Amino acid sequence: MSASTATPVTRLADYRAPEFLIEKTHLTFELHEGYTDVSSRLTIVRNPKSTKTNDLALHGEQLELHSLAIDERSLDSGDYQVTPQNLIIHNVPERFVLHCSVRIYPEKNTALEGLYCSSGMYCTQCEAEGFRKITYYLDRPDVMSEFETVIIAREGAFSTMLSNGNCLSDTVHDGKRVVHWHDPFKKPSYLFALVAGNLACLEDHFTTQSGRDVLLQIYTEAKDREKCHFAMQSLKKAMRWDEETYGREYDLDRFMIVAVDDFNMGAMENKGLNIFNTSCVLAHPASTTDAAFQRVEGVIAHEYFHNWSGNRVTCRDWFQLSLKEGLTVYRDSEFSADMNSRAVKRIEDVNLLRSVQFVEDAGPMAHPVRPDSYMEISNFYTVTIYEKGAEVVRMLANILGPKLYRQATDLYFSRFDGQAVTCDDFVQCMEEISGRDLSQFRLWYSQAGTPELHISDHYDADRQQYSLTLRQYVPATPGQAEKKPMHIPVKMALYGNQGTLNLVINGQNKGTEIVLDICQEQQTIVFEQVVEQPMPSLLRSFSAPVRVFYDYQLDQLQKLILLDSDGFCRWDAMQSLMRIVLSKAIDGKGHQAEQMVLIKVLRQLLADYAAMDAALLAYMLDLPNEPYLASLYEKANPVTISRVRTQLQHELATQLQTELLNCYQSLQNSAIGLSAQAMAARSLRNRTLVYLLQIDDARYRGLAQQQFSQAENMTDQFAALRALVHAEHAHTEAQTALQSFYQQWQHESLVVNMWFQVQASRPWGDVLQEVRELLQHEAFDARNPNKLRAVIAAFANQNFTRFHDSSGNAYQFLAEQIAGIDQRNPQIASRLLTPLTHWHRFVDEHACLMRKALESLSQHELSKDVYEVVSKSLNKAH
Ligand code: TRP
Ligand code: ZN
């Protein structure tokens, strides 16, 4: 697969403290057209904790070494050795200053890692190991240093020249502009940032809890400046929230955000100088959907929160990545829950976990929240590290309760301020403050796989006792055949005819909701004084990232859907009911009785839609998505799953036409403006529109056309476009709408991405051919990750039906595209590969074709990134 030597594996077990430390880092960047010269002055000392070797091995890749000196003495070729990945300097002293100058070529950097150019501006992306493409360095997070950066460019070349921290001076000498930055906080190299470009700036101020004034700046291209107000408001909310919720104040006098078009991920938390994908900053009602607004708010908060969870306290090594990412995702998700609807945020998170993380956890790339090994760390920025990691922190927060959790995070931030630490250090703070033994809980960090919880119950009317028996099972994952039982907190309640029951265990009244700490492989809980047959409400608010198996009766599900006081559980019960109908149909079994119950309960909810949270009802109308349905099978048939799901959608639309139409029309007036209520109304109304468009009726197409042309916000306009494009009977109307949408928005790159995405995800027709044509479209740009995501990832991840076409042509197409993209941008290529890695979970015809596509990809010369995923996917024995 790779002509180069076998790709080495990095292991947690091999971790050693660094042999040298870098006290001070002084960098000078001279930006020229076509190349950049970087000279560094590093104050290096031997690590007192480790005195092994006299050789200093620095990281460095794709660097052109121009000069090297120790304490002013130039080194000659016998003093050092350059390899493709390292610079090794022999016999260095205890303490010295290393001078080094290298030349790099940012204009030619298509991997978007290190220093690169995006739409005429220079920017950096150093996490995880990109700094080594800028200069020779100890590019590992446990080496923390104080940085000074000088940026030099031709006078007038750039209006904006930024780096981390405070600006010390900004002067002009001999036609050159020289800008000098200093970051007083020690940081690892992955948090370094530099930006130079012609940018406009939106400014604001924030007064911290302790009364300090912080200058807030958001830099973008001038045309986008007015789209930054929402991000600015979100930033201020996040700053306030972190003071109130975690007692965390911002530490520098200035906080900067820069938006760039070409970015591999969502955003990056560089100290004092966050760099964002434009898709996570820019927002304006005319051109941005409600979902995108919420994403901006969430990502702004996420990166800001990293200032404490990640920057002030950072990771010892990349195996500890979830220490900062899991904690920060938990923090941003609680922030979003506080700003918007808590139940809806929980539903969105669980949806992502179930349809993506559970799938990852059952596949060849499955890894623990703290992995044991990797070939390429970029491959481990996964939903497991982020989302499952956040669930693990959430469980800890729930086990401790709000007061102790806050005390424990206070201890964590103060004890480890300025240090690079481990997940275990975090758990230890939780343990010390609570006095609880969390040793079994730690398995959440080391054991991969989604635990299954099989629950059965028994009611003994004579004794007035109700018992729940919980049996846990953790499936085997690559490299982990045997698993130990885990500590699973199960929040639950019991319903009787009059509502929730008091829970009495061992004679003690525990109130109406409790958390069971399930720690054994099998455990039985007995509730006393239960005077009627109760119905359990299990895993309330999704108290642990597990799969629950409990055989609900149809009438029980109906009851939970209509009256559980936990919004998440209402949605979850609806998902269960829909899942029952769908799986019976997929298995070719009679499902009429179940379907009738589903229709009845949906009718009841829709008829009285005004009585409940519109946002929650909107989610309750969604059928479980195809990847989730597929994950319920050992070997899934994607064609059957798609067909059955589409049929049910059509059947529901037909049966519920009157209620759907009535709901659609009545919500018209409440769906105006940007309030939470208006957003909820739009979300529900647009779901009803999608259902109505399942029916071949010109009236409904007319409604969508009308909504499309009269919409005053992007949410409604795009929802109407999507409903038309995705409906099978609206071809002509869809073509007209697509054309007019492009006409209207062709100059807004982010909106053009939505236009690409809606076409690539259309569940019918020869989409593969259309996707090939989109790749040739004037607005497509194969070097821009957002464009690749809008066309190729949308087709592979959001178009289950057409991607899994029985011909297998789409699989082959994806493999070919990845081979090409890998030449330019390995991180993006590797991410695009995910849908093919799950081949072993599909019926043989499909599995075979998917495997074939992987094998054809393996014939190419591959990057480490793609090599790791391809080889692990093909090795999986089944
Ligand atoms: N630390 C970033 C975040 O989650 C993630 C990130 C941004 C990243 N850019 C990257 C990870 C490039 C790997 C490569 O906020
Ligand atoms: Zn992050």
Structure confidence by residue, pLDDT tens digits, 177-232? 999 999 999 999 999 999 999 999 999 999 999 999 999 999 999 999 999 999 99
* Cβ-based neighbours of 115, under 8 Å, separated by 6 or more: 29, 36, 104, 106, 109, 122, 123, 124, 133, 134, 194
Residue 802 lies in a domain: no
Residue from 319, 328, 303, 302 nearest 421 by CA: 319
Task: List helix spans (H) across 317-374.
Answer: 321-339, 342-352, 358-361
Residue 283 lies in a domain: no
Task: List helix spans (H) across 564-697.
Answer: 567-586, 592-607, 614-621, 626-631, 638-655, 657-666, 676-692
- Return the H-helix or E-strand segment holding 401: helix 389-415
Residue 652 lies in a domain: yes
Q: 3-state DSSP call for residue 561?
A: helix
* Cβ-based neighbours of 508, under 8 Å, separated by 6 or more: none
Residue 327 alpha carbon to ligand 2 centre in Å: 9
pLDDT of residue 7: 84
Catalytic residues: 303
pLDDT of residue 670: 86
**Which residues are placed with Cβ below 5 angstroms of ligand 2, an ion?**
325, 328
pLDDT value at 753 more than 90: yes
- Assigned token pair, 478: 């690559």
Residue 265 alpha carbon to ligand 1 centre in Å: 6
Domain count, the chain: 1
- Assigned token pair, 668: 């018209």
The Cα–Cα gap between 233 and 230 comes to: 5
The Cα–Cα gap between 474 and 458 comes to: 24
> What ligand 1 atom has the least distance to the C-alpha of 827?
14
pLDDT tier at 2, thresholds 50, 70, 90:
low
pLDDT of residue 674: 86
Ligand 1 pocket: which of 112, 263, 265, 269 to mutate (most atoms <8 Å of CB)? 265
Instruction: Give the distance, in angstroms, between the CA of residue 128 and the centroid of all CA atoms in the same chain.
Output: 16
pLDDT tier at 877, thresholds 50, 70, 90:
very low
Exposed, middle or buried: residue 121 (CB in 10 Å: 0-12, 13-18, 19+)?
Answer: buried
Residue 493 phi, psi dihedral angles, 5° rounding = -145, 165
Residue 148 phi, psi dihedral angles, 5° rounding = -125, 135
Exposed, middle or buried: residue 351 (CB in 10 Å: 0-12, 13-18, 19+)?
Answer: middle
Ligand 1 pocket: which of 113, 127, 382 to mutate (most atoms <8 Å of CB)? 127
Buried b (16+ CB within 10 A) or exposed e, 461-471: eeeeebbbebb
Residue 378 alpha carbon to ligand 1 centre in Å: 9
467 vs 462, 470, 509, 528, 781, CA distance in Å? Answer: 13, 10, 16, 9, 60
Residue 704 alpha carbon to ligand 2 centre in Å: 38
Q: What is the amino acid identity at position 283?
A: A
Instruction: Give the distance, in angstroms, between the CA of residue 30 and the centroid of all CA atoms in the same chain.
Output: 35
Residue 878 lies in a domain: no
How much of the chain exceeds pLDDT 70, in percent?
99
**Cβ atoms of 712 and 646 closer than 8 Å:** no
Task: Take atom 3 of ligand 1 and give the residue whose Cα is closest.
Answer: 268
Q: What is the amino acid identity at position 52?
A: K
Residue 143 lies in a domain: no
pLDDT of residue 845: 98
Q: How many CB atoms lie within 10 A of CB 190?
A: 23
Strand 452-460 to strand 547-549: parallel, antiparallel, or no bridges (unpaired)? parallel
State the residue range of the domain holding 580.
Answer: 550-695
Q: How many CB atoms lie within 10 A of CB 44?
A: 24
pLDDT of residue 53: 78
Ligand 1 pocket: which of 139, 189, 268, 270 to mutate (most atoms <8 Å of CB)? 268
- Return the H-helix or E-strand segment holding 535: strand 535-537
Q: How many CB atoms lie within 10 A of CB 82?
A: 14
Q: What angle do CA 121, 126, 131 make, to 5 degrees?
A: 105
Residue 302 alpha carbon to ligand 2 centre in Å: 6
> What ligand 1 atom has the least distance to the C-alpha of 128?
13
Residue from 313, 326, 300 nearest 381 by CA: 326
Residue 797 alpha carbon to ligand 1 centre in Å: 21
How many helices and strands (H and E) does the chain possess?
30, 34
Residue from 648, 559, 659, 567 nearest 606 by CA: 659
pLDDT of residue 477: 97
Buried b (16+ CB within 10 A) or exposed e, 773-790: ebbeeebbebebbbbbbb
- Assigned token pair, 638: 């994607």
**Cβ atoms of 774 and 759 closer than 8 Å:** yes
The Cα–Cα gap between 141 and 139 comes to: 7
The Cα–Cα gap between 44 and 396 comes to: 39
The Cα–Cα gap between 600 and 586 comes to: 21
pLDDT of residue 876: 53
Which ligand sits nearest to residue 328's alpha carbon?
Answer: 2
**Cβ atoms of 814 and 852 closer than 8 Å:** no
Residue 706 phi, psi dihedral angles, 5° rounding = -65, -45
Residue 494 lies in a domain: no
pLDDT tier at 52, thresholds 50, 70, 90:
confident
pLDDT single digits (tens) 812-846 = 999 999 999 999 999 999 999 999 999 999 999 99
Q: How many CB atoms lie within 10 A of CB 802?
A: 22
pLDDT of residue 3: 43
Residue 587 phi, psi dihedral angles, 5° rounding = -80, 5
The Cα–Cα gap between 529 and 534 comes to: 11
- Say what angle helices 676-692 and 638-655 make with each other, to 10 degrees: 100
**Cβ atoms of 62 and 35 closer than 8 Å:** no
Order of strands, edge to edge, in the sheet holding 80-82? 56-59, 86-89, 80-82
Residue 630 lies in a domain: yes
The Cα–Cα gap between 495 and 391 comes to: 26
Residue 579 lies in a domain: yes
pLDDT tier at 50, thresholds 50, 70, 90:
confident
The Cα–Cα gap between 713 and 674 comes to: 10
Which ligand sits nearest to residue 329's alpha carbon?
Answer: 2
Q: What is the amino acid identity at position 797?
A: N
Question: What pairs with residue 490 in β-bridges?
Answer: 516
Task: List helix spans (H) across 746-843.
Answer: 749-760, 767-774, 785-788, 794-798, 800-803, 809-824, 826-832, 834-837
pLDDT of residue 725: 98
The Cα–Cα gap between 363 and 356 comes to: 11
Q: 3-state DSSP call for residue 258?
A: strand
pLDDT single digits (tens) 802-820 = 999 999 999 999 999 999 9
Task: Take atom 5 of ligand 1 and give the residue whose Cα is closest.
Answer: 268
Q: What is the CATH number of the domain that holds 671?
A: 1.25.50.10
Virtual CA dihedral for 583, 584, 587, 588, nearest 10 degrees? -140
Virtual CA dihedral for 141, 146, 152, 156, nearest 10 degrees? 90
pLDDT single digits (tens) 459-482 = 999 999 999 999 999 999 999 999
- Name the average pLDDT for the chain: 97
Pocket of ligand 1 (CB under 6 A): 125, 127-128, 264-265, 267-269, 302-303, 325, 378, 381, 827
pLDDT single digits (tens) 420-438 = 999 999 999 999 999 999 9
Q: Which of 44-58, 221-235, 797-811 has the lowest mean pLDDT?
A: 44-58
The Cα–Cα gap between 284 and 303 comes to: 21
pLDDT single digits (tens) 238-287 = 999 999 999 999 999 999 999 999 999 999 999 999 999 999 999 999 99
List for the chain the helix, strand, coil content (%; round to 5): 45, 25, 30
pLDDT tier at 343, thresholds 50, 70, 90:
very high
Question: What pairs with residue 98 in β-bridges?
Answer: 42, 70
Please report the DSSP string for 298-316 in residue order. Answer: HHHHHHHHTTTBTTTBEES
